[in-house]
Structure 1
Amino acid sequence: MGSIKRISKELAELIETPPTGISVQLVDESDVYKWKVTMKGPEDTPYEGGTFIVNLTLPNEYPFKPPTVSFATKIYHPNVSNDDKGSMCLGMLKSDEWKPSSRIAAVLEFARQLLVEPMPDDAVEGRIAEQYQNDRKRFEEVARDWTRRYAREAN
């Protein structure tokens, strides 16, 4: 499979020079399709001080099909589902918007950027998006509280 070569190359690059606040490892050394991503909450956001575990799963058809990204750590965010799946809604991961030239590093940077700047118009959690737009102060309080409760630094 040609994709394993590309996945291995991207993985090696990410381990060697990870994007700011992000580190990557394989869930299981024998499976290059499942990654465990550790993402630090960006400074000056309600997620600051938190460490979030994000699961990235690559399809066998990668890079022709997009990876799936989900938060294993509970997070209060308009673009992440509030259930135990933690599915993340990213425009670039929709099959009609995905480009084979897209790289996993860009996906992860975009996911982290969403923590800085949620996209309420592309929300999976309508209620949280509404709160984000209409009562930012309350949104940030709840997001900070969830970060403290669920995303403590893993020592």
Structure 2
Amino acid sequence: MNPQSQGSLLLKSQLRSLTKNPVDGFSAGLVDDEDIYKWEIMVMGPPDTLYEGGFFKCHMTFPKEYPLRPPKLKFVSDVWHPNVHEDGEVCISILHEPGEDKWGYEKASERWLPIHTVETIMISVISMLSDPNDESPANIDAAKEWRTQPDVFKKKVQRCVRRSQEAAFD
């Protein structure tokens, strides 16, 4: 079996499982029923966080080499967060290419491993929303505000939550 069909079978299985047994905090489906490699995910802002009440849409795009290489995850909704690039791309260790980190910041075991699933990725994203890592930020301005101007940071996040709610109910 070629790796591409192995990846698509794995993704079909994960989608079936998430449809039958939804996981708290997010829902997942395909952007286009003909393309198993592009998913649309709705993340519910975790309770007791600044993001609570938000409905944040993202796209997860899988490489043809999945599960040997990680997918890319990008918020379509505005999200102000230290670990989300301004263009919406999520920056967390498990989405980084497998192997050693050339800067020595992450251990290989913290990076992408083929055992990760959409569920484990999304649980990490929900955890990231609950507890930002400002040590290696993707969005330096958000990390700086998070540390030095929490009230300003909170207002920006509240605006994102409000916008996400409006978009979800349009």
CA deviations on 1:27-70 (whole Å, 9 max, x unpaired) are: 11111000000111111212111100010011100000001000
Q: Which consecutive residues of structure 2, in runs of 5 or more, have no partner in the other structure?
A: 99-110
Partner of 1:121: 135
User: Equivalent residue for 2:94?
Assistant: 92
The aligned counterpart of 1:72 is 76
Per-residue Cα deviation, 1:57-111 (whole angstroms, up to 9, x for no partner): 111000000010000001111111123xx11101111103211111111001111
Q: Is the 8 A contact 1:25 1:37 kept in 2?
A: yes
Q: Look up the equivalent residue of 1:91 and give its one-letter code.
A: S
2:16 aligned counterpart, secondary structure:
helix
Question: Which runs of 5 or more residues in structure 1 are unaligned?
Answer: none
User: Alignment partner of 1:25: what SS?
Assistant: strand
Bigger fraction of residues in strand: 1
- Distance between the aligned counterparts of 1:125 and 1:146, measured in 2? 15
Q: CA RMSD in A?
A: 1.2
Pick which of 62-71 and 102-111 moved more: 102-111
Q: How much identity, in percent, do the aligned residues show?
A: 30
Between the aligned partners of 2:22 and 2:68, the Cα distance in structure 1 is 23
User: Could you tell me how far 1:130 is from its partner in structure 2?
Assistant: 1.3
Deviation at 1:121, TM superposition (A): 1.3
Is 1:89–1:122's contact at 8 Å kept on the other side of the alignment?
no
Which residue of structure 1 lines up, in the alignment, with residue 107 of structure 2?
none
What amino acid is the match of 1:60? K
- Cα deviation for residue 18 of structure 1 reads 2.2
Dislocated runs of 4+, deviation >3 Å: none
Q: How many residues align?
A: 152
- Determine helix, strand or coil for the equivalent of 1:23: strand
Cα distance in 1 for residues equivalent to 2:49 and 2:155: 11
2:12 maps to: 8
Report deviation, 1:15.
Answer: 1.5
Amino acid at match of 1:87: E
Give the whole-Å Cα distance in 2 for the aligned partners of 1:51 and 1:26.
17
- Measured in 1, the distance between the counterparts of 2:158 and 2:62 equals 30
Match of 1:26 among 20, 23, 30: 30
Q: Which has the larger radius of gyration?
A: 2
| SS in structure 2 of the partner of residue 31 of structure 1 | coil
> Which of the numbers 46, 50, 60 marks the counterpart of 2:54?
50
TM-score when scaled to structure 1? 0.92
AA matched with 1:151: S
For the 8 Å contact 1:45–1:116, the answer to whether it is kept is yes
